[in-house]
Amino acid sequence: MAQDHVLASVAPHRLPLAARFAVLQPLWMLFALYLGIGVLLRLLLWLRFGIEAHVHAEQWIVITLLGVVNDGVEAIYLFAPLVLYFAFTTTAWHRRPLGRAMLWSVLALTLYGMLLITAMEYFFFEEFDSRFNLVAVDYLIYPTEVLGDIRSEYPVTSLSLALALMALVLLGLLRHRVRAWPAHVALTGRRRAALVAGLVIAVLLLAIGWPADRLAIFHNRVANELVDNGAANFFAAFRTNHIDYHAFYRSGDPAGLRRQLAADLQRGGGEFVDLPAGDLTRRFAARADGLGKLNVVLISEESLGAEYVSAYGAPHHLTPEFDRLAESGLLFTHAYSTGTRTVRGLEAFSASFPPIPSESIIKRDGNQDIATWGKVMRGLGYHTSFLYGGFGAFDNMNTYFGGNGFALSDRSDILHPKFANIWGVSDQDLFAHALDYFDACARQGQPFFSMVMTTSNHKPFTFPSGIAGVKPKGGGREAGARYADFALGEFMREARRHPWFDNTVFIIAADHGARAYGRAEIPLYSYEIPLLILSPGHLHPRHVDTPASQIDVAPTVLGLLGLPYQAPFFGQDVLHWPAGEPRTLLFNHNHDVALLQGDRLCILGLHGSASCERYERQSGPPGPATTRFGSADDDPRLIDLATAYYQTAYDLFQAHRYR
């Protein structure tokens, strides 16, 4: 108190700088804690995930220093409201009991928030091998499923209580400094104006000139993720959710790029209908060797990456049913997803459309009445449908499929499921519903085309009881793969008893892999998925080694049926691909997009960046040890081709010309 009287008696302009802004002392304490917690989080993430991704100890020192800078920048944003609060509250207010209570409450809630976000970042990194990104934004938009998933998967209550206790302990350690806080040394009007002006200028300059990835200097993706600040990444993803391609990505002359793209697409055959007008629609004639107008059922398996499928070399024998089916169909040995989200897989299957940055067209405005596989099949006389085990409002599925040639049936139509969790009914319930649905279609005498999207192989990994080798809860991803495989085998055995089975082509594929992990910007081993086409009595079993993507499924099946059609699809008929011709594959990862042709992977990133690297898939099961990336001279031709695919696709969609 004596010190306070001394300070009060000194003229404001003669006070030391720290004393002049002593009213902000609680913020300096929070700022120091924020930086310290960030350092500890990076250490934990490095030990748990970074070492596995070849982030070395000497790199961690640099990562920590750069991370502290990123955290300091983000702290200016996060603590700006508190700066304004302390700047404009009066001495009288801070002396009142209510003012002191507000101070303690603000400190307690801020400490709790810091710890909560830290815990959330750890668990998010565990799931997605990344700081907060567009996935976190998407999940915030659909809180019902996500919060239910979190409550089922994590000990939310006990963790919240533990974090609250930790916040109180930290607050207790700070209590002496807070009680000694000289609150009555209030800011003068001039000093307050200078503080607010400085804060506003700092925020504006950082917003304009300090992007979230400013310090991403490493060639190792995980190292850059460790440098990043999770909150900064989240808000950056939120701002760029529907990003303007031309403003942020490499662009070029539309006409020239379109000609280059057309030349690449032409390798797959077909006749362009009106290329001079910018229309990429190709016309495909009927094939005499086609199977004819058979039913088509595509089963999109949630998160069933090739790394879990024994037919692709996975060592744990989790998928005996798929492995048996693979012996009687066309097994695509090098199949890839276009992204790491369900909407990316459904986008590719349904529209044969590139995974443009940054959001799937399923969730974009203007996605009604576009070219889709459903519309092509409906034009050929098929009944077309989309069957989903969850609620179709999630990820805008109902709006997208309902507006693009598909009849809809989701969890709302499955009235008495035997088992369900927050994401949807069990795969067994969905498949039973699908069998009834197909029976009804068959009774009408109309061929049917259906996309069936499962949900069970997903956190919280809860399943019906009584299934050998599958824990009802707590079995994790392996239990998810086992159950997905069990339900698939049960469905196929039951389908054999139905009269429409012998006239049906089944496609079994994953919507994406289990998770994206590893040091590469585009970790391709995470994109390897199972892809199987079977039609007993119509197709002879064999392996197809030509690289294939989800956007190739529609053109490949249409070519297999041999039916005439026209569409502006970007995919190709892999089964009739010219021998020796390299395939063009497309990928999306967060805000990066890429093109793979042969052994060259070309990546387009934010701020117009473009680079190429060499990719080699080694022998063995899918996984981090089976791929090798190396530096490669940038290939201008392939960079232009990548630009042609993504820019043209974006422009066609935005102009409502993907028809």
Q: Which of 209, 239, 269 is the last residue of a domain?
A: 239
pLDDT of residue 631 exceeding 50: yes
| pLDDT, tens digit (0-9, with 9 covering 90-100), for 59-91 | 989 999 999 999 999 999 999 998 888 778 777
pLDDT classification of 2: cutoffs 50, 70, 90: very low
Residue 175 shares a structural domain with residue 290: no
pLDDT at site 145: 57
Residue 415 shares a structural domain with residue 467: yes
> pLDDT above 70 covers what percent of the chain?
89
Strand partners, 298: 451, 507
363, part of any domain: yes
Residue 153 shares a structural domain with residue 92: yes
558, part of any domain: yes
Residue 208 shares a structural domain with residue 282: no
Report CA Rg, the chain. 28
**At 109, is the secondary structure helix, strand, or coil?**
helix
pLDDT at site 627: 66
Lowest mean pLDDT of 476-485, 496-505, 512-521, name the range.
512-521
Residues 6+ apart with CB under 8 A from 138: 341, 363, 395
pLDDT of residue 19 exceeding 60: no
Residue 462 shares a structural domain with residue 595: yes
Q: Which domain holds residue 102?
A: 2-239
Strand partners, 387: 409, 452
pLDDT of residue 160 exceeding 50: yes
Residue 166 shares a structural domain with residue 226: yes
179, part of any domain: yes
Residue 398 shares a structural domain with residue 310: yes
In 288-363, alpha helices (H): 320-326, 342-351
Residue 373 shares a structural domain with residue 252: yes
Q: Which of 205, 220, 239 is the last residue of a domain?
A: 239
pLDDT of residue 5 exceeding 50: no
Burial class of 584 by CB neighbour count within 10 A (0 to 12, 13 to 18, 19+): buried
| CATH number of domain containing 372 | 3.40.720.10
What's at 99, amino acid-wise?
G
Residue 276 shares a structural domain with residue 302: yes
505, part of any domain: yes
DSSP states of 287-328 as a string?
Answer: -TTS--S-EEEEEEETT--GGG-GGGT-TT---HHHHHHHTT
- How many separate domains does the chain show? 2
Q: Which of 239, 264, 298 is the last residue of a domain?
A: 239
pLDDT at site 430: 98
Residue 475 shares a structural domain with residue 514: yes
* Interatomic CA distance for residues 493 and 180, integer angstroms: 75
Residue 200 shares a structural domain with residue 322: no
659, part of any domain: no
Alpha-carbon dihedral angle through residues 112, 114, 120, 124, given to the nearest 10 degrees: 180
Residues 6+ apart with CB under 8 A from 437: 385, 387, 409, 450
Alpha-carbon dihedral angle through residues 29, 30, 32, 36, given to the nearest 10 degrees: 140
pLDDT at site 7: 41
Compute the 3-state secondary structure of the chain and give helix, strand, coil in percent, each to the nearest 5.
50, 15, 35
The b/e string for 456-491 (b: 16+ C-beta within 10 A; e otherwise) is: bbbbbbbbbeebeebbeeebebebbbbbbbbbbbbb
Residue 432 shares a structural domain with residue 495: yes
| pLDDT, tens digit (0-9, with 9 covering 90-100), for 348-393 | 999 999 999 888 999 988 999 999 999 999 999 999 999 999 999 8
pLDDT classification of 124: cutoffs 50, 70, 90: confident
Strand partners, 534: 506
pLDDT classification of 309: cutoffs 50, 70, 90: very high
> pLDDT above 90 covers what percent of the chain?
59
Number of other CB atoms surrounding residue 398 within 10 Å:
18
pLDDT of residue 50 exceeding 80: yes
**At 21, is the secondary structure helix, strand, or coil?**
coil
411, part of any domain: yes
487, part of any domain: yes
The b/e string for 96-108 (b: 16+ C-beta within 10 A; e otherwise) is: eeeebeebeebbe
545, part of any domain: yes
| pLDDT, tens digit (0-9, with 9 covering 90-100), for 530-578 | 999 999 899 999 999 999 999 999 999 999 999 999 999 999 999 999 9
| pLDDT, tens digit (0-9, with 9 covering 90-100), for 126-151 | 877 788 877 677 666 656 656 666 66
